Amino acid sequence: MSWFRRSKSETPAEPSAEPRPPESAGAPANAKNQGATEPKRGGLGALFRQGLKRTSEVLRTDVRDLVIRKKGQLVDEWLDELYAILIRSDMGTGPANEIREHIQREFRGRVVEFPELQAAVKQKFRELLGENEGKIQRAANGPTVILGVGVNGSGKTTSIAKLANRFKNEGNRVVLGAGDTFRAGAIEQLTIWAERLGIEIVKGQPGGDPASVAHRAVARALETNADICIIDTAGRLQTQVNLMEQLKKIRRVISRQIPEAPHEVLLVLDATAGQNGLSQAQGFSEAAGCTGIVLAKLDGTAKGGVIIPICQRFKLPVKFIGVGESLDDLADFQVDAFVDGLF
Ligand code: GDP
Ligand code: MG
Protein backbone atom coordinates (compact mmCIF):
# COMPACT_ATOMS: atom_id res chain seq x y z
CA MET A 1 0.00 0.00 0.00
CA SER A 2 1.41 3.32 -0.98
CA TRP A 3 0.46 4.72 2.40
CA PHE A 4 3.61 3.21 3.81
CA ARG A 5 5.75 5.29 1.53
CA ARG A 6 6.08 8.94 1.29
CA SER A 7 4.03 9.88 -1.70
CA LYS A 8 5.85 11.79 -4.39
CA SER A 9 5.36 15.47 -4.25
CA GLU A 10 2.47 16.62 -6.30
CA THR A 11 2.33 19.89 -4.52
CA PRO A 12 3.19 22.86 -6.63
CA ALA A 13 5.69 25.33 -5.28
CA GLU A 14 3.95 27.11 -2.46
CA PRO A 15 2.21 30.22 -3.72
CA SER A 16 3.78 33.24 -2.16
CA ALA A 17 0.90 35.62 -2.80
CA GLU A 18 -1.16 33.74 -0.24
CA PRO A 19 -2.42 35.75 2.75
CA ARG A 20 -0.48 35.16 5.93
CA PRO A 21 -2.49 34.02 8.95
CA PRO A 22 -1.77 36.40 11.78
CA GLU A 23 -0.86 34.06 14.59
CA SER A 24 0.91 31.40 12.69
CA ALA A 25 4.23 31.49 11.13
CA GLY A 26 2.70 28.09 10.38
CA ALA A 27 1.09 27.83 7.04
CA PRO A 28 2.89 29.82 4.46
CA ALA A 29 5.93 30.99 6.39
CA ASN A 30 8.17 28.71 4.48
CA ALA A 31 6.83 29.69 1.11
CA LYS A 32 9.71 31.79 -0.02
CA ASN A 33 12.64 29.60 0.81
CA GLN A 34 11.03 26.48 -0.58
CA GLY A 35 13.21 26.41 -3.62
CA ALA A 36 16.30 27.26 -1.65
CA THR A 37 16.20 24.26 0.65
CA GLU A 38 18.01 21.09 -0.29
CA PRO A 39 15.75 18.80 -2.29
CA LYS A 40 14.34 16.11 -0.08
CA ARG A 41 13.42 13.67 -2.82
CA GLY A 42 14.89 10.24 -3.08
CA GLY A 43 12.65 8.19 -0.85
CA LEU A 44 12.05 7.68 2.76
CA GLY A 45 15.68 7.13 3.72
CA ALA A 46 16.63 10.50 2.28
CA LEU A 47 13.80 12.22 4.10
CA PHE A 48 14.87 10.72 7.40
CA ARG A 49 18.51 11.59 6.79
CA GLN A 50 17.60 15.16 5.99
CA GLY A 51 15.32 15.46 9.00
CA LEU A 52 17.78 13.88 11.39
CA LYS A 53 20.82 15.59 9.98
CA ARG A 54 21.65 17.54 13.09
CA THR A 55 21.38 14.59 15.42
CA SER A 56 23.31 12.28 13.18
CA GLU A 57 26.06 14.85 12.70
CA VAL A 58 26.52 15.01 16.44
CA LEU A 59 26.37 11.26 16.96
CA ARG A 60 28.47 10.22 14.03
CA THR A 61 31.14 12.87 14.43
CA ASP A 62 31.49 12.53 18.18
CA VAL A 63 31.55 8.75 18.19
CA ARG A 64 33.99 8.60 15.30
CA ASP A 65 36.24 11.17 16.99
CA LEU A 66 36.11 9.16 20.16
CA VAL A 67 37.15 5.95 18.41
CA ILE A 68 39.97 7.78 16.63
CA ARG A 69 41.20 9.45 19.81
CA LYS A 70 41.14 6.18 21.73
CA LYS A 71 42.88 4.27 19.01
CA GLY A 72 44.48 1.17 20.44
CA GLN A 73 42.69 1.49 23.78
CA LEU A 74 40.28 -1.10 25.10
CA VAL A 75 36.61 -0.21 24.87
CA ASP A 76 36.17 -0.46 28.65
CA GLU A 77 38.43 2.54 29.08
CA TRP A 78 36.24 4.94 27.18
CA LEU A 79 32.71 3.68 27.72
CA ASP A 80 31.84 6.64 29.92
CA GLU A 81 32.63 9.00 27.09
CA LEU A 82 30.41 7.04 24.74
CA TYR A 83 27.67 7.23 27.35
CA ALA A 84 28.03 11.02 27.55
CA ILE A 85 27.66 11.34 23.78
CA LEU A 86 24.51 9.23 23.82
CA ILE A 87 23.07 11.36 26.60
CA ARG A 88 23.64 14.45 24.47
CA SER A 89 21.25 13.03 21.88
CA ASP A 90 18.52 13.20 24.56
CA MET A 91 17.76 9.51 24.66
CA GLY A 92 17.76 9.51 28.45
CA THR A 93 19.90 7.73 31.00
CA GLY A 94 18.09 4.39 30.93
CA PRO A 95 18.53 3.74 27.20
CA ALA A 96 22.06 5.21 27.18
CA ASN A 97 22.98 2.88 30.01
CA GLU A 98 21.51 -0.07 28.22
CA ILE A 99 23.63 0.72 25.19
CA ARG A 100 26.74 1.18 27.30
CA GLU A 101 26.23 -2.19 28.95
CA HIS A 102 25.57 -3.85 25.64
CA ILE A 103 28.76 -2.47 24.13
CA GLN A 104 30.70 -3.53 27.18
CA ARG A 105 29.39 -7.10 26.93
CA GLU A 106 30.03 -7.28 23.22
CA PHE A 107 33.47 -5.73 23.10
CA ARG A 108 34.92 -6.22 26.57
CA GLY A 109 38.70 -6.14 26.59
CA ARG A 110 38.88 -5.32 22.90
CA VAL A 111 40.02 -2.54 20.65
CA VAL A 112 37.00 -1.45 18.62
CA GLU A 113 36.75 -0.05 15.11
CA PHE A 114 34.12 2.56 14.29
CA PRO A 115 31.98 0.47 11.89
CA GLU A 116 31.49 -2.38 14.33
CA LEU A 117 30.70 0.02 17.16
CA GLN A 118 28.26 1.88 14.95
CA ALA A 119 26.57 -1.37 13.92
CA ALA A 120 26.23 -2.49 17.53
CA VAL A 121 24.78 0.83 18.67
CA LYS A 122 22.32 0.86 15.77
CA GLN A 123 21.20 -2.64 16.58
CA LYS A 124 20.49 -1.55 20.13
CA PHE A 125 18.55 1.50 18.88
CA ARG A 126 16.40 -0.83 16.84
CA GLU A 127 15.70 -2.97 19.86
CA LEU A 128 14.85 0.05 21.99
CA LEU A 129 12.41 1.33 19.38
CA GLY A 130 10.88 -2.11 18.99
CA GLU A 131 7.84 -2.62 16.85
CA ASN A 132 7.25 1.04 16.96
CA GLU A 133 5.86 1.79 13.57
CA GLY A 134 2.30 2.51 12.89
CA LYS A 135 -0.10 3.08 10.15
CA ILE A 136 -3.41 4.82 10.25
CA GLN A 137 -6.32 2.74 11.44
CA ARG A 138 -8.94 3.08 8.71
CA ALA A 139 -12.70 2.70 9.08
CA ALA A 140 -14.06 -0.49 7.54
CA ASN A 141 -16.54 1.68 5.71
CA GLY A 142 -17.53 5.31 5.82
CA PRO A 143 -15.22 8.11 6.83
CA THR A 144 -12.14 7.59 8.99
CA VAL A 145 -12.13 10.26 11.67
CA ILE A 146 -8.78 11.51 12.95
CA LEU A 147 -8.31 13.95 15.81
CA GLY A 148 -5.11 15.96 16.17
CA VAL A 149 -4.30 16.95 19.74
CA GLY A 150 -1.38 18.45 21.60
CA VAL A 151 0.18 21.44 23.29
CA ASN A 152 0.00 24.82 21.53
CA GLY A 153 2.74 25.31 19.01
CA SER A 154 3.65 21.65 18.86
CA GLY A 155 2.82 21.47 15.16
CA LYS A 156 -0.77 20.18 15.18
CA THR A 157 -2.25 22.34 12.46
CA THR A 158 0.76 21.94 10.20
CA SER A 159 0.81 18.18 10.70
CA ILE A 160 -2.90 17.99 9.95
CA ALA A 161 -2.34 19.86 6.70
CA LYS A 162 0.51 17.49 5.81
CA LEU A 163 -1.68 14.49 6.55
CA ALA A 164 -4.55 15.92 4.53
CA ASN A 165 -2.15 16.42 1.65
CA ARG A 166 -0.99 12.83 1.89
CA PHE A 167 -4.49 11.42 1.98
CA LYS A 168 -5.57 13.62 -0.87
CA ASN A 169 -2.61 12.62 -3.02
CA GLU A 170 -3.57 9.02 -2.44
CA GLY A 171 -6.98 9.67 -3.93
CA ASN A 172 -9.01 10.20 -0.77
CA ARG A 173 -11.67 12.78 -0.29
CA VAL A 174 -10.80 14.76 2.82
CA VAL A 175 -12.82 17.08 5.06
CA LEU A 176 -11.09 19.22 7.68
CA GLY A 177 -12.62 20.51 10.92
CA ALA A 178 -11.18 23.69 12.43
CA GLY A 179 -11.70 22.68 16.05
CA ASP A 180 -9.19 25.06 17.58
CA THR A 181 -11.74 27.82 18.08
CA PHE A 182 -9.78 29.28 20.97
CA ARG A 183 -7.45 31.20 18.69
CA ALA A 184 -8.84 33.02 15.68
CA GLY A 185 -5.48 32.57 13.99
CA ALA A 186 -5.78 28.82 14.16
CA ILE A 187 -9.00 28.76 12.14
CA GLU A 188 -7.47 31.05 9.58
CA GLN A 189 -4.30 28.99 9.38
CA LEU A 190 -6.17 25.77 8.65
CA THR A 191 -8.43 27.57 6.19
CA ILE A 192 -5.41 28.68 4.19
CA TRP A 193 -4.06 25.16 4.06
CA ALA A 194 -7.49 23.83 3.03
CA GLU A 195 -7.74 26.35 0.23
CA ARG A 196 -4.30 25.54 -0.98
CA LEU A 197 -5.08 21.83 -0.93
CA GLY A 198 -8.48 22.35 -2.50
CA ILE A 199 -10.31 20.48 0.22
CA GLU A 200 -13.39 21.27 2.22
CA ILE A 201 -13.13 22.78 5.67
CA VAL A 202 -15.83 23.07 8.32
CA LYS A 203 -15.36 25.87 10.81
CA GLY A 204 -17.14 27.90 13.43
CA GLN A 205 -16.83 31.27 15.02
CA PRO A 206 -13.74 32.09 17.04
CA GLY A 207 -14.62 31.23 20.61
CA GLY A 208 -17.39 28.89 19.44
CA ASP A 209 -17.99 25.36 20.62
CA PRO A 210 -15.34 23.04 19.15
CA ALA A 211 -17.53 19.99 19.72
CA SER A 212 -20.11 21.55 17.44
CA VAL A 213 -17.44 22.11 14.78
CA ALA A 214 -16.34 18.49 15.14
CA HIS A 215 -19.94 17.35 14.87
CA ARG A 216 -20.54 19.35 11.72
CA ALA A 217 -17.26 18.21 10.18
CA VAL A 218 -18.14 14.56 10.72
CA ALA A 219 -21.68 15.17 9.47
CA ARG A 220 -20.26 16.76 6.35
CA ALA A 221 -17.89 13.86 5.82
CA LEU A 222 -20.79 11.43 6.09
CA GLU A 223 -22.95 13.52 3.79
CA THR A 224 -20.33 13.83 1.07
CA ASN A 225 -19.04 10.26 1.35
CA ALA A 226 -15.63 11.54 2.34
CA ASP A 227 -12.92 9.02 3.15
CA ILE A 228 -11.16 11.04 5.80
CA CYS A 229 -12.18 13.69 8.31
CA ILE A 230 -9.37 15.34 10.28
CA ILE A 231 -10.19 17.61 13.17
CA ASP A 232 -7.86 20.18 14.66
CA THR A 233 -8.19 20.97 18.37
CA ALA A 234 -7.06 23.62 20.81
CA GLY A 235 -3.78 23.30 22.65
CA ARG A 236 -4.61 25.80 25.33
CA LEU A 237 -7.71 27.08 27.13
CA GLN A 238 -8.31 29.11 30.27
CA THR A 239 -7.50 26.06 32.33
CA GLN A 240 -6.06 22.65 31.66
CA VAL A 241 -9.21 21.07 33.13
CA ASN A 242 -11.39 22.93 30.62
CA LEU A 243 -9.16 21.77 27.84
CA MET A 244 -9.30 18.13 28.83
CA GLU A 245 -13.08 18.32 29.27
CA GLN A 246 -13.34 19.84 25.82
CA LEU A 247 -11.36 17.00 24.28
CA LYS A 248 -13.56 14.45 26.00
CA LYS A 249 -16.68 16.22 24.77
CA ILE A 250 -15.40 16.24 21.20
CA ARG A 251 -14.80 12.50 21.45
CA ARG A 252 -18.26 11.89 22.85
CA VAL A 253 -19.98 13.88 20.16
CA ILE A 254 -18.11 12.17 17.36
CA SER A 255 -18.71 8.71 18.69
CA ARG A 256 -22.43 9.34 18.68
CA GLN A 257 -22.23 9.92 14.93
CA ILE A 258 -19.89 7.02 14.16
CA PRO A 259 -19.57 4.54 17.01
CA GLU A 260 -15.95 3.57 16.26
CA ALA A 261 -14.85 7.17 15.78
CA PRO A 262 -12.44 8.76 16.30
CA HIS A 263 -10.45 6.03 14.62
CA GLU A 264 -7.20 7.74 15.44
CA VAL A 265 -6.29 10.38 17.99
CA LEU A 266 -2.85 11.60 17.09
CA LEU A 267 -0.81 13.32 19.74
CA VAL A 268 1.44 15.86 18.07
CA LEU A 269 4.69 16.37 19.95
CA ASP A 270 7.41 18.92 19.37
CA ALA A 271 10.74 17.10 19.21
CA THR A 272 12.52 20.26 20.31
CA ALA A 273 10.34 20.87 23.38
CA GLY A 274 12.41 19.01 25.97
CA GLN A 275 11.20 17.17 29.04
CA ASN A 276 8.85 19.94 30.13
CA GLY A 277 7.01 19.84 26.82
CA LEU A 278 6.61 16.12 27.15
CA SER A 279 5.16 16.43 30.63
CA GLN A 280 2.56 18.85 29.34
CA ALA A 281 1.64 16.45 26.56
CA GLN A 282 1.06 13.63 29.00
CA GLY A 283 -2.31 15.11 29.98
CA PHE A 284 -3.49 15.08 26.39
CA SER A 285 -2.46 11.54 25.96
CA GLU A 286 -4.64 10.50 28.86
CA ALA A 287 -7.68 12.75 28.36
CA ALA A 288 -7.98 12.30 24.63
CA GLY A 289 -7.34 8.57 24.49
CA CYS A 290 -4.48 8.97 22.04
CA THR A 291 -3.69 6.17 19.63
CA GLY A 292 -0.43 7.36 18.14
CA ILE A 293 2.18 10.06 17.96
CA VAL A 294 3.25 12.51 15.30
CA LEU A 295 6.70 13.73 16.24
CA ALA A 296 7.03 17.14 14.60
CA LYS A 297 10.11 19.32 14.15
CA LEU A 298 12.64 16.52 14.17
CA ASP A 299 14.53 18.61 11.65
CA GLY A 300 14.95 21.39 14.17
CA THR A 301 16.88 19.52 16.83
CA ALA A 302 20.21 17.85 17.32
CA LYS A 303 18.53 15.62 19.85
CA GLY A 304 16.55 13.15 17.77
CA GLY A 305 17.38 10.46 20.32
CA VAL A 306 14.41 11.89 22.25
CA ILE A 307 12.19 9.53 20.30
CA ILE A 308 13.37 6.66 22.49
CA PRO A 309 12.11 8.09 25.80
CA ILE A 310 8.99 9.28 23.99
CA CYS A 311 8.17 5.74 22.91
CA GLN A 312 8.85 4.48 26.41
CA ARG A 313 6.94 7.19 28.18
CA PHE A 314 3.80 7.41 26.12
CA LYS A 315 3.56 3.77 25.18
CA LEU A 316 2.05 4.83 21.88
CA PRO A 317 3.34 4.05 18.42
CA VAL A 318 5.09 6.87 16.62
CA LYS A 319 3.20 6.98 13.34
CA PHE A 320 4.70 9.95 11.57
CA ILE A 321 7.58 12.32 11.90
CA GLY A 322 7.61 15.92 10.76
CA VAL A 323 10.84 17.00 9.17
CA GLY A 324 10.10 20.51 7.95
CA GLU A 325 7.46 23.14 7.45
CA SER A 326 6.13 22.27 4.04
CA LEU A 327 3.44 19.85 3.00
CA ASP A 328 5.75 17.08 1.91
CA ASP A 329 7.79 17.11 5.08
CA LEU A 330 5.98 14.24 6.72
CA ALA A 331 7.39 10.74 6.79
CA ASP A 332 5.87 7.47 7.94
CA PHE A 333 7.87 6.34 10.88
CA GLN A 334 9.92 3.25 10.11
CA VAL A 335 12.41 1.97 12.60
CA ASP A 336 15.13 0.88 10.17
CA ALA A 337 15.10 4.02 8.08
CA PHE A 338 14.98 6.07 11.24
CA VAL A 339 17.95 4.36 12.83
CA ASP A 340 19.94 4.71 9.62
CA GLY A 341 19.14 8.40 9.58
CA LEU A 342 19.98 8.80 13.25
CA PHE A 343 23.43 7.28 13.13
P1 GDP B 1 -0.06 24.10 16.64
O2 GDP B 1 -0.19 25.29 17.53
O3 GDP B 1 0.18 22.84 17.43
O4 GDP B 1 -1.19 23.95 15.69
O5 GDP B 1 1.28 24.29 15.80
P6 GDP B 1 1.46 24.81 14.29
O7 GDP B 1 1.06 23.76 13.32
O8 GDP B 1 0.84 26.14 14.14
O9 GDP B 1 3.04 24.91 14.22
C10 GDP B 1 3.81 25.79 15.02
C11 GDP B 1 5.06 26.16 14.28
O12 GDP B 1 5.88 25.01 14.08
C13 GDP B 1 4.81 26.72 12.89
O14 GDP B 1 5.70 27.76 12.66
C15 GDP B 1 5.11 25.55 11.95
O16 GDP B 1 5.51 25.95 10.69
C17 GDP B 1 6.22 24.86 12.71
N18 GDP B 1 6.31 23.42 12.39
C19 GDP B 1 5.35 22.48 12.44
N20 GDP B 1 5.83 21.27 12.11
C21 GDP B 1 7.14 21.43 11.82
C22 GDP B 1 8.20 20.53 11.43
O23 GDP B 1 8.05 19.31 11.27
N24 GDP B 1 9.44 21.10 11.25
C25 GDP B 1 9.65 22.43 11.44
N26 GDP B 1 10.89 22.88 11.24
N27 GDP B 1 8.70 23.28 11.81
C28 GDP B 1 7.46 22.81 12.01
MG1 MG C 1 -2.90 24.99 15.58
Domains of the chain: 51-129 (1.20.120), 144-290 (3.40.50.300)
pTM: 0.84
* Better-scored residue on pLDDT, 2 or 204: 204
Q: Which residues surround the ion ligand 2 when the cut-off is CB under 5 Å?
A: 156-157, 186
For residue 22, is pLDDT > 60? no
CA 201 to ligand 2 center in whole angstroms: 14
Q: How far lies 53's CA from each of 57, 78, 115, 215, 257, in Å? A: 6, 25, 19, 41, 44
For residue 69, is pLDDT > 50? yes
Atom from ligand 1 closest to the CA of residue 24: 8
For residue 274, is pLDDT > 80? no
Share of the chain above pLDDT 90, in %: 59
CA 187 to ligand 1 center in whole angstroms: 15
Backbone phi and psi for residue 285, each to the nearest 5 degrees, phi listed first: -55, -40
Out of 158, 236, 306, give the residue to mutate to test ligand 1, the one with the largest number of ligand atoms within 8 Å of its CB: 158
Cβ contacts of 267 within 8 Å, gap of 6 or more: 149, 150, 281, 284, 285, 288, 290, 292, 293, 294, 314, 316
Which ligand is nearest the CA of 297, by number? 1
What are the tens digits of pLDDT across the range 95-129? 999 999 999 999 999 999 999 999 999 999 999 88
pLDDT for the residue 15 = 36
Confidence class for position 260, pLDDT limits 50, 70, 90: very high
Distance, CA of 49 to CA of 53 (rounded, Å): 6
- Give yes or no for residue 323 CB within 6 A of ligand 1: yes
CA 221 to ligand 2 center in whole angstroms: 21
CA 160 to ligand 1 center in whole angstroms: 10
Confidence class for position 19, pLDDT limits 50, 70, 90: very low
CA 17 to ligand 2 center in whole angstroms: 22
Q: Which of 92, 99, 108, 110 is nearest to 63 (CA)?
A: 99
Spatial contact of 185 and 21, defined as CB atoms under 8 Å apart: yes
pLDDT for the residue 314 = 87
| Dihedral, 177, 153, 328, 86 alpha carbons, nearest 10 | -140
> Which residue has the least CA distance to atom 19 on ligand 1?
155
pLDDT for the residue 133 = 67
Spatial contact of 212 and 231, defined as CB atoms under 8 Å apart: no
* Better-scored residue on pLDDT, 44 or 83: 83
Which ligand is nearest the CA of 28, by number? 1
pLDDT for the residue 42 = 54
Out of 163, 295, 306, 325, give the residue to mutate to test ligand 1, the one with the largest number of ligand atoms within 8 Å of its CB: 325
- Give yes or no for residue 206 CB within 6 A of ligand 1: no
How many other CB atoms sit within 10 Å of the CB of residue 305?
26
Burial (CB count within 10 angstroms: exposed 0-12, middle 13-18, buried 19+), residue 42: exposed
- Give yes or no for residue 235 CB within 6 A of ligand 1: yes
CA 155 to ligand 1 center in whole angstroms: 4
